[in-house]
Amino acid sequence: MKDVKVLGPGCSRCQATADMVRTEAEKLGLDVKVEKVTDYAAIAGYGIVSTPGLVIDGKVVHAGGLPKPEDVSRWLSE
């Protein structure tokens, strides 16, 4: 199971990112646990200054703006 964290204040872009992760994981047949992290101190702890941020299995893979679905798919497959 992939552990995914969506870092951000809970804005519409953050929700869209979380939805995209779930959609791409379903296409790949992967189980994912998606956690939303809204605490600014926790977000800063990952070195993220622009949200939404995306952390997969402890590795920061994206920060700032909506990621592309094909990128999310690739990151989940790694």
Q: What is the model's pLDDT at position 26?
A: 98
* Confidence category of residue 14, pLDDT binned at 50, 70, 90: very high
User: What does the pLDDT read at residue 32?
Assistant: 97
Q: What is the mean pLDDT of residues 2-25?
A: 97
d(CA 30, CA 63): 23
* Mean pLDDT estimate for the chain: 97
- Strand, helix or coil at 38? coil
How much of the chain, in percent, has pLDDT values that exceed 70?
Answer: 100
Structural domains of the chain, ranges and CATH numbers in brackets: 2-77 (3.40.30.10)
pTM exceeds cut of 0.75? yes
Query: 45 and 4 in contact (C-beta within 8 Å)?
Result: no
